[in-house]
Amino acid sequence: MDRMLVVVFDTEKKAYEGQKALLQLDGEGSIVVYAYAVVAKDADGTSTVRQSDDPGPLGSLVGTSLGSLIGILGGPVGLAVGASVGLVAGSTVDLSNARVGGDFVDDVSKQLLPSRFAVVAEIQEDWTTPVDTRMEAIGGIVFRRALSDVKDTVDDEDTAAMRADIAQMKAEHAQARADRKAKLQEKINQLDSKLQARLEKAKEQRQAAEQRAKTKVEILKTKAAALKVKAAQAGDVVTD
């Protein structure tokens, strides 16, 4: 299952130990780490990304949810964090992009207080014990949430309401006097523009979700191949 993971620590040293443990679990095949970052909550309440994975093609594609969550946790001033490390917290900071619920953000925010640190990661895990055991041993407080699917369409009720308004105004426009037609047409155009923008956003979200899914498949294939090679090498050592 794909999940958003946040582990809060009271010192920076422990946060880096948590990061190391997370990557070790990935190397062992217990979990898959798609993207991660070590985040510091500064004294003024904003967030700073201290370290992240390589912001190359794979990291930048799957980092969208991660970057959005970091931006939300960072508050209004912290929304631009991550720009230098390939995250997109400055441009996409709503919950639909973070793909977690507001209650999850609230729970994390209650623990990620000023002068605390966190490892934030987008992972795949089949069971929670490996991560929990390693992180709790270091003193981390673990939060996780399954990532929600990106909606295939925008909110049906809102879209239907906008279409209904447009239809009604067009009906009025057909029967309106000449001096009224121009004003009605302006309103129709404005509402239609908003509707098209919502539909375009939904299309972009679908395309981004499809690309993330393809990228994650490639990551899984790469890691599976690496584990196969590692197992084969271990077998050679034993037989020798």
What is the band of 154 on the pLDDT scale with cuts at 50, 70, 90? very low
Q: What is the pLDDT of residue 157?
A: 65
Please report, rounded to a whole number, the percentage of residues in the chain having pLDDT higher than 70: 78
Question: How large is the angle between the packed helices 156-175 and 178-239, nearest 10 degrees?
Answer: 160
pLDDT for residue 192 is more than 80: yes
pLDDT at 45: 77
Q: Over the stretch 19-63, which tens digit does the pLDDT of each residue have?
A: 999 999 998 889 999 888 899 988 887 777 886 664 443 444 344
For the stretch 4-18, pLDDT in tens is 899 999 999 999 999
The answer to whether 4 and 65 are in contact (CB under 8 A) is yes
pLDDT computed for residue 18 by the predictor = 96
100 within 8 A of 4, measured Cβ to Cβ: yes
CA distance readout (Å), 178 to 54, 110, 183, 185, 219: 61, 59, 10, 11, 61
Local confidence band at 75 (pLDDT 50, 70, 90 cut-offs): low
| Mean local confidence (pLDDT), 79-86 | 36
pLDDT by residue (tens digit) across 158-187?
678 788 888 988 998 898 888 888 888 988
The residues with which 32 forms a beta bridge, in sequence order, are 124
Torsion sign, CA atoms 222, 223, 226, 228: negative
What percent of the chain clears pLDDT 90, i.e. is strictly above it? 22
Tell me how far the alpha carbon of residue 81 is from its chain's centroid. 14
pLDDT at 228 over 50: yes
State residue 199 phi and psi, 5-degree precision: -65, -35
pLDDT band at 238; cut points 50, 70, 90: very low
Q: Which tokens go with 174?
A: 């057909």
Look-up of token digits 């904003």:
46
